[in-house]
Structure 1
Amino acid sequence: METRLRIAVQKSGRLSEKSLKIIRDCGIKFGSDSRLLKEEADNFPIEFLYLRDDDIPRYVYDGVADIGIVGRNEFDEQDLPLEELKDLGFSKCRLSIAVPEGFPYHGLKSLEGLRIATSYPGILAKKLKEATVDARIYEISGSVEITPAIGVADAICDLVSTGATLASNGLREVEAIYYSTAIMIGHPGLSMEKRAILDRLMLRVDAVMRADDYKYIMFNLPKEHLDQAAAIIGGMKSPTVTPLLDESWCAVQSVVQESRFWDVLEQLKALGAQGILVTAIEKMAD
Structure 2
Amino acid sequence: MSQIRLKIAIQKSGRLYEDSVQLLKECGIQLRNVKDRLRTEADNFPLEVFFLRDDDIPQYVEDGVADIGIVGENVLQEKNKKAFVVEALGFGKCRLSLAIPRAEEYEGVQSLQGKKIATSYPFILQEFLKEHNVTADIHEISGSVEIAPGIGLADMVADLVSSGSTLFMNGLKEVETILESQAVMISNIALSSEQELILQKLLFRIRAVKKAQKNKYILLNAPNDQLTQIIGLLPGMKSPTVLPLAIEGWSSVHSVLSEDTFWDIIEQLKEAGAEGILVVPIEKMIV
For 1:156, the aligned partner's letter is V
Shift of the alpha carbon at 1:157? 0.4
Q: State the Cα deviation string for residues 67-105 of structure 1 (Å, max 9, x = none).
A: 000000111122223221111011111111112242332
Aligned residue for 1:177? Answer: 178
1-structure distance, mates of 2:9, 2:145: 26
Retained in 2: the 8 A contact 1:41–1:47? yes
Aligned residue for 1:207? Answer: 208
Tell which deviates more after alignment, 99-108 or 152-161: 99-108
Tell which deviates more after alignment, 229-238 or 126-135: 126-135
Retained in 1: the 8 A contact 2:33–2:40? no
Aligned residue for 2:19? Answer: 18
2-structure distance, mates of 1:47, 1:189: 18
Aligned residue for 2:254? Answer: 253
**Runs of 4+ that moved beyond 6 A:** none
Aligned residue for 1:60? Answer: 61
2-structure distance, mates of 1:226, 1:170: 57
Shift of the alpha carbon at 1:184? 0.5
Retained in 2: the 8 A contact 1:109–1:133? yes
**SS state at 2:283 partner:** coil
1-structure distance, mates of 2:248, 2:83: 59
Q: State the Cα deviation string for residues 114-153 of structure 1 (Å, max 9, x = none).
A: 1111111121122222322221112222222222233322
Aligned residue for 1:139? Answer: 140
2-structure distance, mates of 1:123, 1:197: 33
Retained in 1: the 8 A contact 2:29–2:45? yes
Shift of the alpha carbon at 1:275? 0.8
2-structure distance, mates of 1:82, 1:230: 46
Q: State the Cα deviation string for residues 9-53 of structure 1 (Å, max 9, x = none).
A: 000122111011111001111134431000001111101000011
1-structure distance, mates of 2:203, 2:34: 25
**SS state at 2:242 partner:** strand
Retained in 2: the 8 A contact 1:5–1:46? yes
Retained in 1: the 8 A contact 2:39–2:49? yes
Aligned residue for 2:76? Answer: 75
Q: Which runs of 5+ in 2 are unaligned?
A: none
Retained in 2: the 8 A contact 1:40–1:48? yes
Q: State the Cα deviation string for residues 200-219 of structure 1 (Å, max 9, x = none).
A: 11111011000001000001
What fraction of aligned residue pairs are identical, expressed as a percent? 53
Tell which deviates more after alignment, 207-216 or 113-122: 113-122
The root-mean-square deviation of aligned C-alpha atoms, in Å, is 1.4
Retained in 2: the 8 A contact 1:7–1:66? yes
Is it true that 1:156 corresponds to 2:144 in the alignment?
no
**1:1-286 equivalences in 2 (<5 Å):** 1-286=2-287
1-structure distance, mates of 2:102, 2:237: 52
**SS state at 1:47 partner:** strand
Shift of the alpha carbon at 1:249? 1.2
2-structure distance, mates of 1:46, 1:260: 36
Retained in 2: the 8 A contact 1:214–1:256? yes
**SS state at 1:96 partner:** strand
Retained in 2: the 8 A contact 1:11–1:34? no
Retained in 1: the 8 A contact 2:115–2:136? yes
2-structure distance, mates of 1:122, 1:221: 58
2-structure distance, mates of 1:17, 1:53: 13
Shift of the alpha carbon at 1:6? 0.4
**SS state at 1:233 partner:** coil
Retained in 2: the 8 A contact 1:97–1:156? yes
Retained in 2: the 8 A contact 1:95–1:177? yes
**SS state at 2:36 partner:** coil
2-structure distance, mates of 1:245, 1:170: 65
2-structure distance, mates of 1:56, 1:15: 12
Q: State the Cα deviation string for residues 248-270 of structure 1 (Å, max 9, x = none).
A: 11111011111111111111111
1-structure distance, mates of 2:286, 2:100: 47
**SS state at 1:14 partner:** coil
